Amino acid sequence: GNLTNLTVLNLYYNLLTIIPPEIGNLTNLTVLNLSCNQLTGSIPPEIGNLTNLTNLKLHYNQLTGSIPSEIGNLTNLTSLYLTETQLTGSIPPEIGNLTNLTELYLRDNQFTGSIPPEIGNLTNLNGLYLYENELTGSIPPEIGNLTNLSYLYLSNNQLTGSIPPE
């Protein structure tokens, strides 16, 4: 937490086990990559202090709990990777604040509830990966706002209803 001038922190492919709350002190970070470790526990809400982040990679870990609503503070993010992290709960509506995102990887988790309509705010998305979760409800028509999408993966969920015309 004392390395406040860091802009890039890559600690991927190690055996790290915890994300300390002091990570929130590293407010100059633009890249945080803790993927492919053995991280357990939840994503600390202090991650929302990292407002300069453009790239957040926490995939391939054993994180539990839900995505903290503070993730919505990371409005400079262009890439968010939370693939195969064992996260639960619903996708927070604050994800709609991340309007600079081009890639959103939430696949292979245990997310429940519906796809938040706020996802339609992410008009710069090129790829939306929500497959292999436990999402329910219908596909929100707001997905039609994502006119830059090249990749849309919603398979292996429990979505119902019709495909919206949008």
3-state SS class at 145: helix
Q: What is the pLDDT of residue 48?
A: 98
Strand partners, 9: 32
CA-CA-CA-CA torsion sign (93, 54, 153, 18)? negative
Strand partners, 130: none
Taking residues 69-78, report their average pLDDT.
98
DSSP single-letter state for residue 151: E
Taking residues 134-161, report their average pLDDT.
98
pLDDT in tens, 8-41: 999 999 999 999 999 999 999 999 999 999 999 9
CA-CA-CA-CA torsion sign (122, 20, 68, 131)? positive
Mean pLDDT over each residue of the chain, to the nearest integer: 97
pTM for the structure as a whole = 0.95
Q: Which residues contact 38 (CB under 8 A, 6 or more apart)?
A: 15, 16, 17, 61, 62
Taking residues 114-126, report their average pLDDT.
98
Taking residues 117-123, report their average pLDDT.
98
